[in-house]
Amino acid sequence: MNIHLKDKSIFDKLIASTIVKIEVGSGMYNLKLNSSDSDYLIIYANSKNFTHSFYWEHHQFQYKHLGIDYLFTTIQQFVRNILTGDSTINYECLFSDEINDKLSWLYEERLKFRNYNTIRSYLGLAKRDLKQARKMQFDQIQNVHVLSKKLSHIYRGLYSVDLIMNGNYYTNRLDLEYKSDYDYLLSLKNGQFIKNNGNVAKFLDHAENYMNQLKTNLDKCLSSKKISTFMRPDYQEALDSKIMQFCQTDEYISKQQNDLVINEIYSALEHGISYG
């Protein structure tokens, strides 16, 4: 969940603090359709006043501007949300060209982020989408758009788990590296699988069996200590040192606002997140 901001002046300050801007969602995977939204994740320099604040919140900020959804996160929050399994999107951003270009020191660390929390998060999302897709499959024509989106999420999510578990590898660009698999994924996303009378029930049964197999393998890897729950302590120490060094650079300091008081933070800490 994200904290939704409504104050345009706060949005402007966050934009001014931008370190790197990454297109996420279907745009990241080259799966955009005419109906697809545009979404961006922005890593920004934390304001100077919040550097010394008690505030800590794992929810990222969200602001909708001119039909585009913007998600905002600090570098510290970005890393924590990957390692806790809170955001698979953040994990995928680690492998983006934008991170490689603007935060090459973080891109170089990307393979060290492979952990139990992240993989479980992918499997949890697949389980959710499987449950929702099963409810839609009996009225495929009426639900073709949403159901197609769910099928593509299930396939890509389980494919990602397979890549991460079997070789410590991940890619956002199946279109460049696994073209036949990408073409199948695209047929799921754009509805051609359903329109061509693809067997949705069989797809879901196979996906659920494969998901359970992956979960069993993941639990075995954890119990045998072949995978970390969070991150190896020596990796954490090295990464923390690099973050601290980066936050002392002129590049980072020049992006920091003096203050960024966001009342929605304090409200969320007391009352939870409200979308009313």
47 or 79, which is more confident: 79
Domain that holds residue 37: 2-110+232-271
Q: CA-to-CA distance for 155 and 150, rounded, in angstroms?
A: 9
The mean pLDDT value for 184-209 works out to: 95
Confidence of residue 59 (pLDDT cuts 50, 70, 90): confident
Distances (CA, A) of 30 to 12, 24, 85, 182, 188: 28, 10, 24, 9, 14
- Interval 19-30: pLDDT, tens: 999 999 999 999
pLDDT of 81 over the 90 cut = yes
141 assigned to some structural domain: yes
Assess whether 13 and 98 both reside in one domain: yes
Residue 175: per-residue pLDDT: 94
pLDDT of 275 over the 60 cut = no
Residue 274: per-residue pLDDT: 66
Assess whether 125 and 192 both reside in one domain: yes
Give residue for tokens 């570098």. Answer: 75
Assess whether 102 and 238 both reside in one domain: yes
Assess whether 213 and 239 both reside in one domain: no
Distances (CA, A) of 247 to 26, 42, 178, 255: 31, 16, 37, 10
Assess whether 102 and 34 both reside in one domain: yes
Assess whether 135 and 37 both reside in one domain: no
- Residue 73: phi and psi, rounded to 5, are -150, 145
145 assigned to some structural domain: yes
Assess whether 16 and 68 both reside in one domain: yes
Residue 36: per-residue pLDDT: 76
Question: Long-range pairs for 176-184 at CB < 8 Å and ≥24 separation?
Answer: 182/30, 184/155
Residue 6: per-residue pLDDT: 86
Residue 18: per-residue pLDDT: 97
Q: Is the pTM of this model over 0.85?
A: yes
Q: CA-to-CA distance for 260 and 252, rounded, in angstroms?
A: 16
55 or 204, which is more confident: 204
93 assigned to some structural domain: yes
85 assigned to some structural domain: yes
Choose one of 206, 223, 240: the last residue of a domain. Answer: 223
276 assigned to some structural domain: no
Assess whether 239 and 261 both reside in one domain: yes
Assess whether 77 and 136 both reside in one domain: no
pLDDT of 137 over the 90 cut = no
Assess whether 159 and 253 both reside in one domain: no
218 assigned to some structural domain: yes
Assess whether 12 and 90 both reside in one domain: yes
- Interval 117-129: pLDDT, tens: 999 999 999 999 9
Choose one of 199, 223, 247: the last residue of a domain. Answer: 223
Residue 43: per-residue pLDDT: 98
- Interval 214-267: pLDDT, tens: 999 999 999 999 999 999 999 999 999 999 999 999 999 999 998 876 777 788
72 assigned to some structural domain: yes
191 assigned to some structural domain: yes
Number of structural domains, the chain?
Answer: 2
Residue 260: per-residue pLDDT: 79
Assess whether 121 and 99 both reside in one domain: no
- Interval 151-185: pLDDT, tens: 999 999 999 999 999 877 899 999 999 999 999 99
Question: C-alpha 88: how far from its chain's center?
Answer: 3
